[in-house]
Amino acid sequence: MNYTQSSDERMDYYQIGQRIRRCRNAKGLSQEQLAERVWISQTHMSHIETGNTRLSLPVLVDIARVLEVSTDDLLSDRAIEAGAACHEINEVIGSCTPKQLRILSDILKASKMALDKFDTP
């Protein structure tokens, strides 16, 4: 990494804004509703989502809180994908009996071992 770059050159505000938009839509919130809940104007929220303004840390934290995601989810696609997968797994686990949980655990362990076996170069 080139440490002479400014932090703004390393931050992709457009991508962050798009992640915020996806999370907002997934929660069924309008831009105006999200803006009201984080105490900013709808215009400012629009500019955040389009990457036309720099997002402050306090606003990022407030947006993440309202959307019930981590700030990492908003800063990285990888975090969103992992978070979404964990959420789906937790929903399945929540509806299982103790016996079903043991079976799913064994299946998951066996699947992971097979993936590791065939994923090595």
Residue ranges of alpha helices (H) inside 1-121 are: 7-10, 13-26, 31-37, 42-50, 57-67, 71-75, 77-94, 98-119
User: What is the rounded CA–CA span in Å between residue 81 and residue 83?
Assistant: 5
Res. 107 pLDDT band, cuts 50 70 90: very high
Quick check: pTM over 0.75? no
Confidence band, pLDDT 50/70/90 cuts, at residue 13: very high
